[in-house]
Amino acid sequence: MSIPTLSQIAHGLSTGHFSSEEITCDLLADIVAKDKQYNSFITITKTLALVQARAADQRRSQGRAAPLTGVPIAHKDIFCTRGIRTSCASRMLDNFVPPYESTVSQRLLDAGSVCLGKTNLDEFAMGSSNETSYYGVVNNPWDLDAVPGGSSGGSTVAVAAGLVPGATGTDTGGSIRQPASFCGVTGIKPTYGRVSRFGIIAYASSLDQAGPIARTAEDVALMLNVMAGFDQQDSTSVDRAVDDYCAQLEQPLKGLKIGLPKEYFGPGLDDGVAQCILSAVQDYERLGAQILDISLSKLPLSIAAYYVIASAEASSNLSRYDGVRYGYRCDQPTGLLDMYCRSRAEGFGTEVKRRIMVGTYALSEGYFDAYYRKAQCIRRLIKNEFEHALAQVDVIMGPVTPTPAFNQGSKTVNPVGMYLEDIYTLSANLAGIPAMSVPAGFVSGRPVGLQIMGNYFAEAQLLQIAHQYQKVTDWHLQIPPHSSQECA
Ligand code: GLN
């Protein structure tokens, strides 16, 4: 029993083994029959998917197919999709149908991919467990009592369970890597500015970055080839040529210098997770890499700095939801102020309100210097430290999270406990460097991801490093007990 990878599906389409319409129908039937147990989709776009699949088959028959033509995927419900409800998992946007398309989804559409639907996430991408969604918790196919991680939990679960071979995600502080680690799939957060943010509902604009999630590094490379690139509509998009992310995959790793920061292996790291990471590092030594001990001493400051900056930006970004132009509006407001207050009070969930309040506080007069400015200074120190480290080594490796997936409800009462989960992922966003999660083992039946961080625009190298590992291991090919294959 196996779940086909995105590359295998692309291959099957190109050799005529099956049509896009056939595979699309199969996967849609699976989603309808099996997603009840995961809750990974918010919206299933059946009619649209079939129209797109037929168009893809026609394009192929005319000899105009690209690598992703006819390949079914799903989008995190944070990417605006024209004419398709885009909720960001919030009551605030439950009725929002965007009149325009995000650049990422447009590029994937132009490449001929087929959109099966929009996946669940933490409300406005704020969370590490996918428990803050207005549409309910997402269940991890490795253990239905465990969280899938967040915020891109719907996308990672849909991929892990075999409902879709690839999906988009966004990562502001770990939201691609952490759920990828918890669900045993592969995901990359590219360099800030590599993938356009146009049409992605903003959480923290200086940290948000979109990336692909799939089962293998090769699949992720195929998707990133389409997603990456300059976009005039995003002023932070970088005008720089895009590498072919598949070109370097087969190159050997001899001479690669890997840095292991001692702070990533300190107190708080689960023993089983540490074992998985160290054994992955040994695999890399066998593949010809050289391991060096390094230090990233600012790691402990990343949580405080991140949660000040991200909340500050969120409080500003979310001020647009006021019940006036679009989104949720309360019933029968008695006046303008009542409409603002009740629309926001009723439209946002608890975690989102907490972030808005923290952010507004940190930005207010008298506190700006004490919190926001200080957090920005720490951010610069973190960036400097990465630059210094990456001048000595090619990449940095460590765990993605301190523990494997935790049980649902176990961290919801203590928000700070939940924030601590992000300790190993936040720094890459603060520095803007690319980072990925690659399946590297299991602890008590729950997956563990290896984090690989690299220099600015080194995505091709990260994917090569992940691919070479996946050629000698099969963690990424394991099938969850509650997958679409197992319950067939
Ligand atoms: N867990 C982090 C947060 O809640 C990161 C979320 C994300 O990357 N979108 O902010």
Domain containing 83 — which CATH number? 3.90.1300.10
CA–CA dist 439, 448 (Å, integer): 6
Give catalytic status of residue 295 as yes or no. Answer: no
- pLDDT under 70 in the chain at which residues? 1, 484-488
- Domain presence at residue 11: yes
Residue range of the domain that includes 124: 6-254+465-487
> Measured at the alpha carbon of residue 288, what is the angle toward residues 284 and 290, in degrees to the nearest 5?
75
- Domain presence at residue 398: no
- 91-94 long-range Cβ contacts below 8 angstroms, 24+ apart: 91/134, 91/328, 91/346, 91/347, 91/348, 91/349, 92/321, 92/327, 92/328, 92/347, 92/348, 93/201, 93/321, 93/327, 93/328, 94/134, 94/328
> Measured at the alpha carbon of residue 199, what is the angle toward residues 355 and 225, in degrees to the nearest 5?
115
Residue 126 Cβ inside 6 Å of ligand 1? The answer reads yes
What is the phi-psi region of residue 52: left when phi exceeds 0, alpha when psi lies from -120 to 50, beta otherwise? alpha
For position 375, what pLDDT does the model report? 97
What is the phi-psi region of residue 405: left when phi exceeds 0, alpha when psi lies from -120 to 50, beta otherwise? beta
Dist. CA 176 → ligand 1 center (Å): 9
- Domain presence at residue 263: no
Report the nearest atom of ligand 1 relative to the CA of 421: 1
Give catalytic status of residue 427 as yes or no. Answer: no
- Domain presence at residue 396: no
CA–CA dist 97, 273 (Å, integer): 42
Q: Amino acid letter at 24? A: T
Number of Cα atoms under 13 Å in the Cβ half of residue 433 = 29
Residue 86 Cβ inside 6 Å of ligand 1? The answer reads no
Catalytic residue, candidates 175, 427, 483, 484: 175
- Domain presence at residue 123: yes
For position 109, what pLDDT does the model report? 98
Dist. CA 391 → ligand 1 center (Å): 28
DSSP run (H or E) holding 239: none
Dist. CA 172 → ligand 1 center (Å): 5
Phi (first) and psi of residue 187, to 5 degrees: -150, 150
Among 155, 175, 424, 430, which is best to mutate for testing ligand 1, by the most ligand atoms less than 8 A from CB? 175
pLDDT, tens digit, for every residue of 431-476? 999 999 999 999 999 999 999 999 999 999 999 999 999 999 999 9
- Domain presence at residue 66: yes
Dist. CA 477 → ligand 1 center (Å): 27
Report the nearest atom of ligand 1 relative to the CA of 126: 4
Catalytic residue, candidates 7, 128, 151, 437: 151
Q: Are strands 72-76 and 446-454 parallel, antiparallel or unpaired?
A: unpaired
Give catalytic status of residue 129 as yes or no. Answer: no
Q: What tokens appear for 441 in the block?
A: 């083992």
- Domain presence at residue 375: no
DSSP run (H or E) holding 447: strand 446-454
For position 488, what pLDDT does the model report? 38
Catalytic residue, candidates 34, 76, 189, 298: 76
For position 334, what pLDDT does the model report? 97
For position 487, what pLDDT does the model report? 42
Whether 93 contacts 87, CB under 8 Å = yes
For position 485, what pLDDT does the model report? 56
Residue 179 Cβ inside 6 Å of ligand 1? The answer reads no
- Domain presence at residue 71: yes
Dist. CA 480 → ligand 1 center (Å): 25
Domains identified in the chain, total number: 1
Beta strands per DSSP E along 283-413? 290-294, 395-399
Please count the other Cβ atoms lying within 10 Å of the Cβ belonging to residue 336: 11
